[in-house]
Amino acid sequence: MSHPARAATLLIAFGLSGHAEAMDLGPFQLKGNFQFDSVFVDRGPPPLDDVDDWRRQRLALAGRLPGEGDFKIEYDFASDAFTDAYVRFPLARGKLTAGQFKVPFGAEHLASSSQLVFTENAVAGLFAPGRRLGLQYAQHGEGWGAQGAVYGEDLDEAGPDLGLAARGWWFGDAGGDARWHVAAATTHEALRDSQIRFRMRPEVGRFGPTWLDGGRFLGADHILRTGLEAGYQVGGLVLSGEWFRASFDAAGGHRSARGGYLQAAWTVHGPGRNYDPSNGLFVGPKGSDGLGQVELAVRYGSARIPRTGGGEAGQRGFSLGANLQYGKHLRFMLDRHLPEQRDGVDAALWSFRIALGF
């Protein structure tokens, strides 16, 4: 996108920020989540290059159903695919969800894309299954919560023959305005085509190029994923981290991928992040009139993936971020990424996002 086009996008976003509200359609609501990204590559090997593109163009219809149920149907025009498409009803002090939803694995993956600390996840996308069709049951109580799911492929017929997932979390106060959170999750999948492949991007979104590829492992019938989470919040400072492992047996024997991240997010102006006990997540604050949350963040991430020819490939690096909320619906995000491959090849990138949600 040219510089005048970027300026026009900014002006349109500013104009909409004060007026965009979810559209009430009787018992239903029309919601939107639009994110435009610009990536600037200062240094990096081919095929890394500058890019301007829509990261998300989502419209959703949501509403209440009889019996205290609710539903959501969301379509992403940027990826030309349905995202959420489910109905949910209360059941035995919890909630039962049927349809397409995020598999309960990994806090960074489960967080809403409109409330991320950075424009892209660290390594969660390498491990998390994504959205799948199935059934999920969730319940939480005082100091704890749990989710369990059985699922298969998604609406585009991608995914396993059968998958099982479970996630549990525990939380509590640590004195004053401090709180803590820990969680563990696992998934087990029977793979439909008996093959698996790990590829990595340097944190630049779905349109970014793959710069690490472990190759295609054949004869892999199952994959087991495990994940651990920890978080601590005091005032406007949130410290969090996750660790993941994915293991499988293929024609070449037992192999695994692993990775994790540590990050700190500090709200220097406006309301800070909140803890959602019903989902076990630190979530972003609601927008307000005028200048809202201003947030600074730092993250270190690392991951290793197996190669079909033997050995491993890997990526590690730091990211710095600054986020600004203006009005109830407009958010600006600026990140600096400094990824490095295990063999010493490195890159330096900027990513900038304009996000409008209603």
Say which residue, 201 or 63, is predicted with more confidence: 63
Give residue-wise pLDDT tens across range 235-253: 999 999 999 999 999 988 9
Q: Compute the half-sphere exposure of residue 131: CA atoms within 13 Å on the CB side of its CA.
A: 18
Say which residue, 28 or 62, is predicted with more confidence: 62
- pLDDT at position 289: 85
For residue 84 the two structure tokens come to 């959420």
pLDDT at 260 over 70: yes
pLDDT at 17 over 70: no
* Nearest CA among 231, 263, 228 for reference residue 245: 228
Tell me how far apart the alpha carbons of residues 39 and 94 are, in angstroms, rounded to a whole number: 42
For the segment 166-183, the average pLDDT, to the nearest whole number, is 96
pLDDT at 80 over 80: yes
pLDDT at 1 over 60: no
Across all residues in the chain, what is the average pLDDT? 90
CB neighbours (10 Å) of residue 67?
7
> 260 φ, ψ to 5°?
180, 180
- pLDDT confidence tier of residue 207, bands split at 50, 70 and 90: low
CB neighbours (10 Å) of residue 307?
16
Percent of the chain with pLDDT over 70: 92
> 151 φ, ψ to 5°?
-155, 170
Write the DSSP symbol of residue 152.
Answer: -
Q: Using alpha carbons, list the distances in angstroms from residue 190 to 25, 127, 128, 253, 259.
A: 41, 15, 15, 17, 22
For residue 269 the two structure tokens come to 């102006």
Tell me how far apart the alpha carbons of residues 333 and 226 are, in angstroms, rounded to a whole number: 30
Q: 108, 183 in Cβ contact below 8 A? A: no
CB neighbours (10 Å) of residue 253?
7
- DSSP SS3 for 12: helix
- pLDDT at position 176: 87
pLDDT at 334 over 50: yes
Give residue-wise pLDDT tens across range 109-121: 999 999 999 999 8
What is the residue type of 157?
E
- pLDDT at position 45: 81
Residue ranges of domains in the chain, CATH in brackets: 3-357 (2.40.160.10)
For the segment 257-262, the average pLDDT, to the nearest whole number, is 96
For the segment 290-302, the average pLDDT, to the nearest whole number, is 95
pLDDT at 48 over 90: no
Q: What is the pTM of this model?
A: 0.90
CB neighbours (10 Å) of residue 242?
26
Enumerate residues 6+ apart whose C-beta is below 8 A from 31.
22, 59, 60, 61, 62, 74, 357, 358
- pLDDT at position 142: 96
Write the DSSP symbol of residue 115.
Answer: G
For residue 283 the two structure tokens come to 């979530």
- pLDDT at position 10: 47
pLDDT at 9 over 60: no
Q: 84, 133 in Cβ contact below 8 A? A: no
